[in-house]
Structure 1
Amino acid sequence: MVYVLEITIGLLLLLVGVLFWRLTALLKEKQEIQKRFTALQDRVDGLQLDNLESRLNPHLFKNILNSIQSHAYQTFFALDKLANVLDYILYDSQQKLVTPREEIAFAINLIEINKIKISPLFELRVKTKVNDNEKLFDQKLLAPLISIDLIENAFKHADLQSADAFISVLFEFKDHCFSLTVSNKISDKKAMKKERSGIGATTLEQRLRIIYKNNFQLEKHTDNSIYTVHLKINLLDYKNQMLITG
């Protein structure tokens, strides 16, 4: 429960930080617009009001309107995704198991929230490959929040403002197995160390061992500054194991 609370607080702090950054950007933009408008007033000093209005660049006001509209949409979009994430954490994650469909939907919402803080040039690839004939896809066999650490780790260690960096997330469900592969180019900058940092990876491995025993694989490797982690869980074997143990 403490771990879930830490995740919730972290998401709230992330959104507050993003909103504060957006507000700061808007204030700077407003100051720049005020400077331009003041300069324009100086140039047309002495002219009549109708002459002043005829000289105003209509594109300036159009750009202002588009900027405000864009920020408002991003804020609304982020709040909507955050609401879905919090619902999942507060309610669905309290269940012992969820369906792979529910976990993937949660993870995608989490990724959408993180997209707010990345550069427009940053390459973020998210794909989902699901075999429609897989009946286990809608059965409660997956531990909730099992994907969060791998995704958050990628956003933590990638340079989100670099055009050369990337994050790739692939969800797969085939042959009764849930798979998540996350790759990212490691940032040259050192990630800021936080209190209790690194607990996520340890907790994930412990959960996997306790819940899935020998029915999972967790592989990690680094090649040419690209870090890749692959998680695969055989849900059919896990289901059979549950039936045997009762």
Structure 2
Amino acid sequence: MKHDSTPKTAHLAIYIHIIAWVLLFTFPLLMEDHSEGIRWNEYFRRLSIPVSFFIIFYANYWLLVPKFLLKKERSRYLLYNVLLIAVLLVFFHLFYFPYLQDCFFGKDTKVEPFASFHHPPRWAFLIKDCVMYIFMAGLGTVIRLSMQWQKAETARQEAEQSRMEAELNNLRNQLNPHFLLNTLNNIYALIAFDTDKAQQAVQDLSKLLRHVLYENRGTFVPLCKEIDFIHNYIELMRIRLVKGVSLVINIEVAKDSQTPIAPLIFISLIENAFKHGISPTEPSFISITISEREGQVVCEIANSNHPKNRSDKSGSGIGLEQVKKRLELLYPGRYEWRKGVNADGSVYTSLLAINTYPNKTM
């Protein structure tokens, strides 16, 4: 019956078809007065209605729609429907009803078809049946087209999901080397003035790489693990901070929070703060606040603004662009990201709020 991707749904469609036609075929019996027994001639005459409906419906459902209409052969689809309706009308009105009359009353008995209806002429019944046949043809067509649309929509959604997963994997593959490159640059700078701290930094980096390489391969990770990763990253960055830099970290997230969050979604924002918020000669500050409440995760970062010159190769500049792409893919309509510098250009702020409830929009 219904060609669905899930057997459970297909079986349900079969049951619905069976129940509907059983009810329709037994309906003529319910219309009879059984005080004098079943009048089989009346039953078989009325049975012609569901039989003809059955033929019209499934001729369109199984044959005419998939073979002609879905292949854009509309003229042939209409032609075969007209021929089918004409054949059914001729058969039932000119052969079937007279045949029943002969079987039950004898050939010499003059009983007009539809004897129980004295007022409407025969042509009225022809028009009525023709209209009902057109309706059943339309019903079979609409149901089949809706099935086809559902299959196409399911295929489109699967293709969109595959495309999104492929793009996310591509972004993740770009992000990991980008993150590693910037961290190695930091360690390289540290080696020049403190070898012991550099060794500790390498050890801390190995912990970070374990998360990057093995613990964030899914589309989402528990928020508590991502917070642990951010803690480790900040500690790694703290080693290279010079005097005169104020670093304030405020984490308002439960230590065992299992809220699913996109991995590394905040790290580029934090990385950007360390890159542009620290000056070796001027007072600098970085303030990072991450909180979770009422189905919303918020990352708010403020830092002193010390833009790098073009000769600085500490980053390729793809980090924030990746964040934007990933947000659009994973949280469409469910995030708000405000960023920019203040009026005098001295402070850069970034506030990213993500709704973790799938059906909740910003």
Q: Which TM-score tier does this pair reach, normalised by the shorter chain?
A: 0.5 to 0.7
Whole-angstrom CA distance in 2 between matches of 1:78 and 1:196: 19
Q: 1 or 2, which has the higher strand percentage?
A: 1
| Superposed CA offset, 1:140-175 (max 9, x none) | x21111011101111111234245210111111111
- Which of 171, 180, 184 pairs up with 2:299? 180
Which stretches in structure 1 are left out of the alignment for 5+ residues? 24-71, 242-246
* Cα RMSD for the two superposed structures: 2.4
Q: Map 1:183-222; keep pairs closer than 5 Å.
A: 183-187=302-306, 190=309, 192-194=311-313, 197-222=316-341
- Higher relative contact order, chain-length normalized (CA < 8 Å, sep 6+): 1
- Which of 247, 250, 253 pairs up with 1:130? 253
| Superposed CA offset, 1:112-148 (max 9, x none) | 111122113310111111368xx8x313x21111011
Percent sequence identity over aligned pairs: 27
AA paired with 1:150? L
Q: Is the 8 A contact 1:117 1:160 kept in 2?
A: no
Report whether the alignment pairs 1:155 with 2:278: no
- Which of 168, 192, 205 pairs up with 1:82? 205
Shift, 1:76, TM fit: 5.1
Q: Map 1:25-174; keep pairs closer than 5 Å.
A: 72=196, 74-75=197-198, 77-130=200-253, 137-139=257-259, 141-162=260-281, 164-174=283-293
Larger Rg belongs to: 2
Whole-angstrom CA distance in 1 between matches of 2:336 and 2:205: 30
AA paired with 1:227? Y
Query: In the superposition, relative to structure 1, how do residues 210 and 113 fare at CA in structure 2: closer, same or farther (>3 Å)?
Result: same
TM-score norm. by structure 2 comes to 0.47
Whole-angstrom CA distance in 2 between matches of 1:6 and 1:18: 19
Q: Is the 8 A contact 2:278 2:306 kept in 1?
A: yes
- Which of 179, 185, 199 pairs up with 1:13? 185
Whole-angstrom CA distance in 2 between matches of 1:180 and 1:10: 21
AA paired with 1:18? L
Whole-angstrom CA distance in 2 between matches of 1:138 and 1:158: 31
Q: After TM superposition, which residue ranges in structure 1, 4 or more long, deviate above 4 angstroms?
A: none
Q: Is the 8 A contact 1:158 1:187 kept in 2?
A: yes
Whole-angstrom CA distance in 1 between matches of 2:200 and 2:315: 30
Whole-angstrom CA distance in 1 between matches of 2:184 and 2:307: 27
Partner of residue 50, structure 1 = none
Shift, 1:7, TM fit: 1.7
| Superposed CA offset, 1:162-207 (max 9, x none) | 4521011111111111111111111266364439732111111010
Shift, 1:10, TM fit: 2.8
Corresponding residue pairs, total: 186
3-state DSSP of counterpart to 2:216: helix
Whole-angstrom CA distance in 2 between matches of 1:100 and 1:149: 16
- Which of 210, 230, 233 pairs up with 2:354? 233
Whole-angstrom CA distance in 2 between matches of 1:191 and 1:8: 21
AA paired with 1:214? G
| Superposed CA offset, 1:210-243 (max 9, x none) | 111111111113214110000111102x2x48xx
3-state DSSP of counterpart to 2:239: helix
Whole-angstrom CA distance in 1 between matches of 2:203 and 2:315: 29
Query: In the superposition, relative to structure 1, how do residues 114 and 191 fare at CA in structure 2: closer, same or farther (>3 Å)?
Result: farther
Whole-angstrom CA distance in 2 between matches of 1:163 and 1:120: 10
